[in-house]
Amino acid sequence: MSYRENALIIKTSCLAEGIYEMWLKTDKMAGEAVPGQFISVYSNDGSRLLPRPISLCEIDRENGRLRIVYRVTGEATGTEEFSHYQAGDAIELLGPLGNGFPLERAKGKRVFLIGGGIGIPPMVQLAKELDDKAVAIMGYRNADTFLDRELSEHATLYVATEDGSLGTKGNVIDCIRENDLKADVLFACGPTPMLRALKAYAKEAGIECWISMEERMACGIGACLACVCKSTEVDEHSQVKNKRVCKEGPVFLADD
Ligand code: FAD
Ligand code: FES
């Protein structure tokens, strides 16, 4: 079930260059959300009609709070507008949306949580719910990292940076190889080239691979087909080999 709610912004801050967080007080959403789901965030500027999809970074069900972490994509964009919001402001949300990660696939297994860039935020709630059992491998551009403190509190954390200023120099797969890490199942979110490379790596290593996809979205609720991607199976809704990332996803088994 998803809701359209007016949420109250409780806290905002800048976590790294161009990366911001927002804690939101909601009525119903936080109580029902699961890791890997996202919310659609509406702009207060009437010229921006479409909401912006942002993953849930943390879910505080007890206190009805959600945390989102986002990158400002440029000047005069929706995310730039959000970065000026302050505690006490109201914001309109739709959510929770999408399917979330299949936590049951991790039971009794060795788990990798893999995040790249702005794909890192959903890994925080996942790490919390897996309760110290996962190995988290996070890829950043450089040592200006974010969410590494939270991840290291709830998982065993390894870091890769493109410029080698922290952890392994290179990407998340270089980091796995350098540290000789092993897993049975992996959950990943990040840029498409990283997800493609992880799919190939997981196949070779015999690891079950779940990826969270990012597609441009409009309605966010499965009605407009703006977000379809090709799949191996016929989709129940459209009867073709397509899946709606906002509805059937954003998390898919990589082989699908
Ligand atoms: P503009 O370029 O001005 O946006 C123009 C339009 O294109 C808007 O409707 C916008 O929503 C859409 N759009 C642009 N880029 C994207 C994109 N990459 N994905 C989807 N729609 C896009 N970003 C984060 O920083 N943190 C997150 O946790 C996060 N989670 C996401 C989860 C999902 C399921 C998806 C699909 C995207 C996620 N994104 C996340 C990307 C985020 O939605 C875009 O960066 C944001 O919509 C850009 O909006 P803008 O107004 O700043 O940019
Ligand atoms: Fe409209 Fe997915 S964004 S169907």
The ligand placed nearest to the CA atom of residue 217 is: 2
> Would you state the pLDDT for residue 7?
97
Question: Which one-letter amino acid corresponds to residue 198?
Answer: L
User: Do 158 and 135 touch, CB atoms closer than 8 A?
Assistant: yes
The ligand placed nearest to the CA atom of residue 243 is: 2
> Would you state the pLDDT for residue 58?
98
Side-chain-facing half-sphere of 100: CA atoms under 13 Å: 20
Give the strand pairing for 19-25 and 3-16. Answer: antiparallel
Residue 232 pLDDT > 90: no
Sign for the pseudo-dihedral over CA of 67, 188, 72, 50: negative
Tokens 């730039």 belong to 80
User: Do 197 and 205 touch, CB atoms closer than 8 A?
Assistant: no
Q: What are phi and psi of 78, to 5 degrees?
A: -60, -45
Calculate the average pLDDT of the chain.
Answer: 95
The ligand placed nearest to the CA atom of residue 51 is: 1
CB neighbour list of residue 109: distance below 8 Å, 6 or more residues apart: 183, 184, 185
- Residues flanking ligand 1, CB < 6 Å: 38, 50, 52-55, 70-71, 73, 77-79, 118, 121, 214-217, 250
Q: What are phi and psi of 7, to 5 degrees?
A: -100, 155
Percent of the chain past pLDDT 70, that is, above it, reads: 98
Pocket test for ligand 1, best of 52, 246, 252 (most atoms within 8 A of CB): 52
How many A from CA of 247 to the centre of ligand 2? 7
Q: State how far the Cα of 141 lies from the Cα of 139, in Å rounded to an integer.
A: 7
Residue 240 pLDDT > 90: no
In tens, the pLDDT along 25-65 reads 998 999 999 999 999 999 999 899 999 999 999 999 999 99
DSSP conformation class of 240? S
The three-state secondary structure class of 122 is helix
In tens, the pLDDT along 1-14 reads 999 999 999 999 99
Confidence of residue 235 (pLDDT cuts 50, 70, 90): low
The predicted model scores a pTM of 0.96
As given in the structure block, the two tokens for residue 228 are 């379809």
Cis peptide bond upstream of 250, omega within 30: yes
User: Do 242 and 229 touch, CB atoms closer than 8 A?
Assistant: yes
In tens, the pLDDT along 171-193 reads 999 999 999 999 999 999 999 99
Give the strand pairing for 111-116 and 185-189. Answer: parallel
The DSSP-derived string for 131-175 is TT-EEEEEEESSS---SHHHHHHHSEEEEEETTSSSSEES-HHHH
Q: Is 94 in the pocket of ligand 2 (CB under 6 A)?
A: no
How many A from CA of 52 to the centre of ligand 1? 5
